[in-house]
Amino acid sequence: MTTVVDVRSLTKRYRVFGSPFKRLRAAVAPASVRGGRDFTALEDVSFSLEPGSALGVVGPNGAGKSTLLKVLGGIVEPTSGEVLIRGTVASIIELGAGFHPDFTGRQNALLNAEILGFTQAQALRAYEEIARFCELGQYLEMPVRTYSSGMFVRLAFAVAVSAHPDVLLVDEALAVGDAVFAHRCLARIREMRRAGVTIVFVSHDTNMILGLCDRAIYLDRGRLMSDGPPKDVVHAYLLNVAERLTAADGTDGNVTRFHAVGAVERDGARDDKRFGSFQAVITNFSVEDGKGRATDKLISGDPARFRMNVHFDTVVDDPIFGLLLKNRFGVEIFGTNTMLRKQATGRFEHDQTAEVVFDLPLHLGAGIYSASFAVHTVEGHYYDYHTDAAVFEVTGVVETIGLLNLPTEVTVTQGLAKETGAAEMREKLYPDALQVLEPGPAELRFLAGDWYGAERNGDHWQRWMGRSAWAFVRVGEEAETVEVRFRSGHPDVATHPVRASLRVDRGDEACTELNHTEWTTLEVPVTPTMRGRVVKVMLTVDRTWVPSDWNNDEGGDPRALGLMVARVGAKDSR
């Protein structure tokens, strides 16, 4: 498959000077400045991406993650190496990047569209999409310098995705947005992936990397440390973080030795690793049912027990014992430890052991999970962290969707909705509702229920309905009645009358029996609460007819027709 992004031996160095003045001189007259040193932000980084792939980039601060995105986005030039991108690129790298602070959100969005080469018509369509997605409302007419960081993210992300790029670059920007908008952004990213857009996503949230990406790379001090499946890369990154925390916790002034042990056997069911100083060692662990029997199959909602045994080779005061559960994608779904639960564990002497038991109701959805066990200090010094130590399967008695099977009771009570709430919603949905409408093409948005296509009769529009249909009209302050003009086309209406009913909101119902095909008007009185508001006009019939049942020609009209409606509206007293 053709690659969309090719990065080959990418290196980026910056020249660093001792003062801003020397840096300015170096920019204006490089030959006049001596000294300085090179800072390597990226060194010999290579990878390639196919269409529709999502690459997660992890690493500590200063690892070169943002520099990589800036090079991919064409913001900075590489010192050496090549970056080839086939297609258009959109990026969200720095808040406010590319926005003029004194321009409004609307002006910045239109300017960005012009920079991307959009025609005026395309730019206006793109702006409509941006406005709908970011939901900034009136703030789009305010200068962006007045925006909060969350508002910046909303506008920046909406502008980026409106370009429909081939490659989308996203830095940690989503971290400052609100939770609802972040979920919407992630949903859009997944939608773009399905459409073939390639994503490069930088984040410190490893769960987000695991859930969103199909590949990850780990950068540290500008070097590519790991490249592969997100689960393995995230593990390598977290292992390095744990190593640094453990080494920094040498309370006696010495650096504590840190070890990492990989699994002897690696397969789809078991891929455990462990790391720590091993001054305390997890010697045994098990997953058990509620009766204490070891098992690798549990039933959702039943009691479960996670047990570990620890041997101490050194004196430890109040060690922290922890449990972490992950799903089959490596996403953390539940974790706890004795510190979070504010449980003191006591003092353990050299050669003492501890048995730690976690009892909990296993409200997980059906699937494959892993349990990780840990013993560490409050400062983050890991004695032993056994990741994915035990793999177990959860089967469900009650079918659920998702990761959890929470204890749930469902109660259904029938009742009437509050008319006030429905009225407020109608005002929001139909603020420009007409007082009188002919059900033509332009009025289709004011219709709901069972309607068929509009037909023209001279200067007027009319439309067939099925068994029931609704229309939304505004009732004037002087209106006395709401009326509907209609007729029946039923072939046997003369011998078998058709009953038609009209109701407005929850007012009185008006009924009539039709035994002819002439135009008829049915009306109901307007109540004081209807005046000045948008009302729901409901028209129903007790039976319909199908034209194809009444003629023998093949291919006849198969619609189930009720009434032909020519007018719906409120009638003033004047």
Q: What backbone phi and psi angles, to 5 degrees, belong to 511?
A: -130, 155
CATH number corresponding to 232-263+272-395: 2.70.50.60
| Closest-CA residue to 466 (of 565, 550, 567) | 565
pLDDT exceeds cutoff 80 at 35: no
Residues comprising the chain, all counted: 574
Predicted confidence at residue 269, as pLDDT, reads: 38
**Could you tell me the pLDDT band of residue 255, with boundaries at 50, 70 and 90?**
very low
| Closest-CA residue to 514 (of 551, 482, 533, 540) | 540
Q: What backbone phi and psi angles, to 5 degrees, belong to 478?
A: -100, 0
Q: Measured in whole angstroms, how far is the alpha carbon of residue 162 from the centre of its chain?
A: 17
Q: Which CATH architecture has domain 5-227?
A: 3-Layer(aba) Sandwich (3.40)
Q: What is the residue whose two structure tokens read 């007729």?
A: 487
How far apart (Å, rounded) are the C-alpha atoms in residues 411 and 33? 78
- Mind listing the pLDDT tens digit for each residue in 380-421? 788 999 988 999 999 876 677 778 888 778 767 777 656 667
Is 92 in contact with 159 (CB distance < 8 Å)? no
3-state secondary structure 149-163: HHHHHHHHHHHHHHC
CATH number corresponding to 419-572: 2.60.120.260
Is 504 in contact with 459 (CB distance < 8 Å)? no
pLDDT exceeds cutoff 60 at 455: yes
**Could you tell me the pLDDT band of residue 253, with boundaries at 50, 70 and 90?**
very low
pLDDT exceeds cutoff 80 at 351: yes
Q: Where are the domains of the chain?
A: 5-227, 232-263+272-395, 419-572
Predicted confidence at residue 178, as pLDDT, reads: 66
Taking phi first (over 0 means left), then psi (-120 to 50 degrees means alpha), and beta for anything else, what does residue 330 get?
left
Q: What is the residue whose two structure tokens read 């549990």?
A: 298
pLDDT exceeds cutoff 70 at 205: yes
- Angle, vertex CA 415, rays to CA 413 and CA 419, nearest 5: 140
**Could you tell me the pLDDT band of residue 268, with boundaries at 50, 70 and 90?**
very low
3-state secondary structure 52-113: CCEEEEECCCCCCHHHHHHHHCCCCCCCEEEEEECCCEEEECCCCCCCCCCCEHHHHHHHHH
pLDDT exceeds cutoff 90 at 158: no
